[in-house]
Structure 1
Protein backbone atom coordinates (compact mmCIF):
# COMPACT_ATOMS: atom_id res chain seq x y z
CA UNK A 1 0.00 0.00 0.00
CA UNK A 2 1.22 3.51 -0.82
CA UNK A 3 2.43 5.76 1.99
CA UNK A 4 2.61 9.48 2.53
CA UNK A 5 5.88 11.20 3.23
CA UNK A 6 5.20 13.78 5.92
CA UNK A 7 7.63 16.55 6.78
CA UNK A 8 7.16 19.14 9.51
CA UNK A 9 9.50 22.10 9.15
CA UNK A 10 9.76 25.25 11.27
CA UNK A 11 11.94 28.32 10.63
CA UNK A 12 14.48 26.83 13.06
CA UNK A 13 14.68 23.20 11.94
CA UNK A 14 13.10 20.11 10.45
CA UNK A 15 11.02 18.56 13.22
CA UNK A 16 10.04 15.37 11.46
CA UNK A 17 10.26 13.39 8.23
CA UNK A 18 8.32 10.11 8.32
CA UNK A 19 6.09 7.77 6.35
CA UNK A 20 2.41 7.61 7.32
CA UNK A 21 -0.85 6.12 6.12
CA UNK A 22 -2.79 9.31 6.84
CA UNK A 23 -2.31 12.86 8.11
CA UNK A 24 -5.06 14.87 9.80
CA UNK A 25 -4.27 18.56 9.52
CA UNK A 26 -5.75 21.62 11.30
CA UNK A 27 -6.56 23.59 8.16
CA UNK A 28 -7.71 27.17 7.98
CA UNK A 29 -11.29 25.97 7.48
CA UNK A 30 -11.19 23.00 9.84
CA UNK A 31 -9.56 19.61 10.06
CA UNK A 32 -8.87 17.71 6.85
CA UNK A 33 -7.42 14.29 6.18
CA UNK A 34 -4.80 13.38 3.61
CA UNK A 35 -4.13 9.89 2.30
CA UNK A 36 -1.95 8.67 -0.55
CA UNK A 37 -3.32 9.81 -3.91
CA UNK A 38 -4.86 13.00 -2.48
CA UNK A 39 -5.43 15.87 -4.88
CA UNK A 40 -2.58 18.41 -4.73
CA UNK A 41 -3.35 21.64 -2.90
CA UNK A 42 -2.02 24.32 -0.57
CA UNK A 43 -3.76 25.37 2.64
CA UNK A 44 -3.37 27.72 5.54
CA UNK A 45 -3.05 25.96 8.91
CA UNK A 46 -4.54 27.15 12.15
CA UNK A 47 -2.93 26.33 15.50
CA UNK A 48 -3.89 22.81 16.55
CA UNK A 49 -2.99 19.14 16.56
CA UNK A 50 -1.60 17.54 13.42
CA UNK A 51 -2.14 13.79 13.74
CA UNK A 52 -0.25 11.13 11.82
CA UNK A 53 -1.60 7.60 11.53
CA UNK A 54 0.76 4.75 10.71
CA UNK A 55 -0.38 1.12 10.94
CA UNK A 56 -3.21 2.13 13.29
CA UNK A 57 -0.88 4.02 15.63
CA UNK A 58 -1.54 7.74 16.13
CA UNK A 59 1.12 10.34 16.82
CA UNK A 60 0.23 14.01 17.25
CA UNK A 61 2.16 17.25 17.02
CA UNK A 62 1.06 20.73 17.96
CA UNK A 63 1.53 23.18 15.09
CA UNK A 64 1.24 26.90 15.78
CA UNK A 65 -0.18 27.75 12.37
CA UNK A 66 1.52 28.05 9.01
CA UNK A 67 0.96 26.38 5.66
CA UNK A 68 0.65 22.84 4.35
CA UNK A 69 1.34 21.67 0.81
CA UNK A 70 -0.04 18.34 -0.41
CA UNK A 71 1.05 16.65 -3.62
CA UNK A 72 2.61 13.48 -5.03
CA UNK A 73 1.95 11.54 -1.81
CA UNK A 74 3.86 14.14 0.20
CA UNK A 75 2.62 16.43 2.97
CA UNK A 76 4.93 19.36 3.62
CA UNK A 77 4.02 21.25 6.78
CA UNK A 78 5.61 24.68 7.09
CA UNK A 79 4.76 25.54 10.68
CA UNK A 80 5.45 28.70 12.65
CA UNK A 81 6.38 26.34 15.51
CA UNK A 82 5.79 22.65 16.22
CA UNK A 83 6.27 20.18 19.05
CA UNK A 84 5.11 16.69 19.99
CA UNK A 85 1.91 16.97 22.03
CA UNK A 86 3.44 14.70 24.65
CA UNK A 87 6.01 17.42 25.41
CA UNK A 88 3.57 20.30 25.87
CA UNK A 89 3.89 22.25 29.11
CA UNK A 90 0.17 22.72 29.81
CA UNK A 91 0.73 24.89 32.87
CA UNK A 92 3.08 27.14 30.90
CA UNK A 93 0.50 27.43 28.12
CA UNK A 94 -2.21 28.31 30.65
CA UNK A 95 0.04 30.95 32.18
CA UNK A 96 0.86 32.51 28.77
CA UNK A 97 -2.83 32.52 27.86
CA UNK A 98 -3.84 34.16 31.15
CA UNK A 99 -1.09 36.77 30.81
CA UNK A 100 -2.26 37.66 27.29
CA UNK A 101 -5.88 37.86 28.46
CA UNK A 102 -4.83 40.15 31.30
CA UNK A 103 -2.95 42.45 28.91
CA UNK A 104 -6.01 42.58 26.64
CA UNK A 105 -8.22 43.92 29.45
CA UNK A 106 -6.76 47.40 29.16
CA UNK A 107 -6.90 47.51 25.36
CA UNK A 108 -9.49 48.38 22.80
CA UNK A 109 -9.84 46.25 19.68
CA UNK A 110 -8.28 49.19 17.83
CA UNK A 111 -5.02 48.87 19.78
CA UNK A 112 -2.15 47.63 17.61
CA UNK A 113 -1.20 44.92 20.15
CA UNK A 114 -4.75 43.64 20.61
CA UNK A 115 -4.57 41.24 17.65
CA UNK A 116 -1.18 39.92 18.79
CA UNK A 117 -2.51 39.18 22.25
CA UNK A 118 -5.65 37.64 20.77
CA UNK A 119 -3.47 35.38 18.58
CA UNK A 120 -1.51 34.34 21.68
CA UNK A 121 -4.74 33.38 23.44
CA UNK A 122 -5.90 31.32 20.43
CA UNK A 123 -2.51 29.62 20.02
CA UNK A 124 -2.17 28.71 23.70
CA UNK A 125 -5.78 27.48 23.87
CA UNK A 126 -5.08 25.27 20.84
CA UNK A 127 -1.86 24.03 22.47
CA UNK A 128 -3.78 23.09 25.64
CA UNK A 129 -6.48 21.40 23.56
CA UNK A 130 -3.90 19.39 21.63
CA UNK A 131 -2.25 18.26 24.86
CA UNK A 132 -5.58 17.29 26.43
CA UNK A 133 -6.59 15.31 23.34
CA UNK A 134 -3.36 13.34 23.51
CA UNK A 135 -3.90 12.54 27.18
CA UNK A 136 -7.51 11.41 26.71
Structure 2
Protein backbone atom coordinates (compact mmCIF):
# COMPACT_ATOMS: atom_id res chain seq x y z
CA UNK A 1 0.00 0.00 0.00
CA UNK A 2 1.36 3.43 -0.95
CA UNK A 3 2.21 6.07 1.62
CA UNK A 4 3.20 9.71 1.80
CA UNK A 5 4.85 11.85 4.48
CA UNK A 6 2.43 13.81 6.67
CA UNK A 7 3.70 16.64 8.84
CA UNK A 8 1.43 18.49 11.28
CA UNK A 9 3.15 21.69 12.40
CA UNK A 10 2.09 24.42 14.83
CA UNK A 11 3.93 27.64 15.70
CA UNK A 12 5.24 25.86 18.83
CA UNK A 13 6.26 22.43 17.59
CA UNK A 14 6.25 19.60 15.09
CA UNK A 15 3.22 17.64 16.31
CA UNK A 16 3.43 14.69 13.91
CA UNK A 17 5.72 13.42 11.14
CA UNK A 18 5.03 9.93 9.77
CA UNK A 19 4.41 7.98 6.58
CA UNK A 20 0.63 7.54 6.24
CA UNK A 21 -1.81 5.89 3.83
CA UNK A 22 -4.42 8.65 3.80
CA UNK A 23 -5.81 11.63 5.68
CA UNK A 24 -9.20 13.30 5.88
CA UNK A 25 -9.43 17.03 6.55
CA UNK A 26 -12.25 19.57 6.52
CA UNK A 27 -11.39 22.50 4.27
CA UNK A 28 -13.44 25.61 3.66
CA UNK A 29 -15.26 23.84 0.79
CA UNK A 30 -15.95 20.68 2.81
CA UNK A 31 -14.44 17.28 3.61
CA UNK A 32 -11.32 16.24 1.65
CA UNK A 33 -9.76 12.80 1.45
CA UNK A 34 -6.07 12.82 0.50
CA UNK A 35 -4.33 9.73 -0.84
CA UNK A 36 -0.80 9.20 -2.22
CA UNK A 37 -0.36 10.93 -5.58
CA UNK A 38 -3.05 13.56 -4.90
CA UNK A 39 -2.87 16.68 -7.08
CA UNK A 40 -0.97 19.51 -5.32
CA UNK A 41 -3.07 22.27 -3.72
CA UNK A 42 -3.33 24.56 -0.69
CA UNK A 43 -6.56 25.32 1.18
CA UNK A 44 -7.59 26.80 4.53
CA UNK A 45 -8.83 24.36 7.17
CA UNK A 46 -11.88 24.60 9.36
CA UNK A 47 -11.77 23.87 13.08
CA UNK A 48 -12.34 20.12 12.78
CA UNK A 49 -10.71 16.75 13.37
CA UNK A 50 -8.02 15.55 10.98
CA UNK A 51 -8.14 11.76 10.64
CA UNK A 52 -4.85 10.04 9.84
CA UNK A 53 -4.94 6.47 8.52
CA UNK A 54 -2.03 4.03 8.69
CA UNK A 55 -3.07 0.53 7.64
CA UNK A 56 -6.39 -0.11 9.34
CA UNK A 57 -5.74 2.27 12.25
CA UNK A 58 -7.24 5.78 12.20
CA UNK A 59 -5.87 8.43 14.57
CA UNK A 60 -7.75 11.73 14.99
CA UNK A 61 -6.07 15.06 15.72
CA UNK A 62 -7.91 18.14 17.02
CA UNK A 63 -6.75 20.76 14.52
CA UNK A 64 -7.76 24.33 15.24
CA UNK A 65 -7.68 26.06 11.85
CA UNK A 66 -4.72 26.69 9.59
CA UNK A 67 -3.86 25.39 6.13
CA UNK A 68 -3.20 22.09 4.40
CA UNK A 69 -0.59 22.02 1.65
CA UNK A 70 -0.53 18.94 -0.56
CA UNK A 71 2.78 18.50 -2.39
CA UNK A 72 3.91 15.80 -4.79
CA UNK A 73 5.42 13.58 -2.09
CA UNK A 74 4.19 15.01 1.21
CA UNK A 75 1.35 16.83 2.94
CA UNK A 76 1.95 19.61 5.45
CA UNK A 77 -0.73 20.83 7.82
CA UNK A 78 0.16 24.24 9.25
CA UNK A 79 -2.20 24.62 12.19
CA UNK A 80 -2.81 27.23 14.86
CA UNK A 81 -2.85 24.28 17.27
CA UNK A 82 -3.08 20.50 16.98
CA UNK A 83 -3.51 17.85 19.65
CA UNK A 84 -3.59 14.08 19.80
CA UNK A 85 -6.52 12.54 21.73
CA UNK A 86 -4.31 11.68 24.72
CA UNK A 87 -3.07 15.30 24.96
CA UNK A 88 -6.58 16.72 25.40
CA UNK A 89 -7.85 17.57 28.88
CA UNK A 90 -11.50 16.53 28.56
CA UNK A 91 -12.70 18.37 31.68
CA UNK A 92 -11.00 21.58 30.53
CA UNK A 93 -12.60 21.26 27.08
CA UNK A 94 -16.03 20.69 28.69
CA UNK A 95 -15.55 23.79 30.88
CA UNK A 96 -14.54 25.87 27.83
CA UNK A 97 -17.63 24.63 25.97
CA UNK A 98 -19.89 25.63 28.86
CA UNK A 99 -18.27 29.10 29.14
CA UNK A 100 -18.68 29.70 25.39
CA UNK A 101 -22.33 28.58 25.46
CA UNK A 102 -23.00 30.88 28.42
CA UNK A 103 -21.46 33.83 26.56
CA UNK A 104 -23.47 33.03 23.42
CA UNK A 105 -26.71 32.80 25.41
CA UNK A 106 -26.00 35.97 27.42
CA UNK A 107 -27.90 38.15 24.99
CA UNK A 108 -26.51 41.62 24.26
CA UNK A 109 -22.87 41.67 23.19
CA UNK A 110 -20.86 43.15 20.39
CA UNK A 111 -19.99 41.35 17.15
CA UNK A 112 -16.36 40.65 18.16
CA UNK A 113 -17.31 38.98 21.45
CA UNK A 114 -19.97 36.89 19.71
CA UNK A 115 -17.48 35.67 17.06
CA UNK A 116 -14.85 34.88 19.71
CA UNK A 117 -17.42 32.89 21.71
CA UNK A 118 -18.43 30.95 18.56
CA UNK A 119 -14.77 30.11 17.82
CA UNK A 120 -14.20 29.05 21.44
CA UNK A 121 -17.23 26.78 21.22
CA UNK A 122 -15.99 25.24 17.93
CA UNK A 123 -12.52 24.59 19.40
CA UNK A 124 -13.98 23.04 22.57
CA UNK A 125 -16.36 20.81 20.60
CA UNK A 126 -13.48 19.70 18.33
CA UNK A 127 -11.35 18.75 21.35
CA UNK A 128 -14.24 16.88 22.98
CA UNK A 129 -14.97 14.96 19.76
CA UNK A 130 -11.32 13.97 19.23
CA UNK A 131 -10.76 13.01 22.87
CA UNK A 132 -13.68 10.62 22.70
CA UNK A 133 -14.64 11.63 26.22
CA UNK A 134 -11.41 10.24 27.68
CA UNK A 135 -10.98 11.68 31.16
CA UNK A 136 -7.40 12.14 32.39
Is TM > 0.5 for Structure 1 vs Structure 2? yes
* Number of residue pairs aligned between Structure 1 and Structure 2: 134
Deviation for aligned residue 1:120: 0.4
The corresponding residue for 2:42 is 42
The corresponding residue for 1:125 is 125
Structure 2 length-normalised TM: 0.87
The corresponding residue for 1:16 is 16
Do residues 90 (structure 1) and 90 (structure 2) align? yes
Q: 1:66 to 1:133 in 2, by over 3 A?
A: farther
Q: Deviations over 1:53-98 (max 9, x none)?
A: 1122222211111110012131100011011023322221110111
Is 84-93 or 31-40 further displaced after alignment?
84-93
Unaligned runs of 5+ in 1: none
CA distance in 2, matches of 1:130, 1:30: 18
Is 86-95 or 31-40 further displaced after alignment?
86-95
SS in 2 for 1:100: helix
Name the Cα RMSD after superposition: 1.9
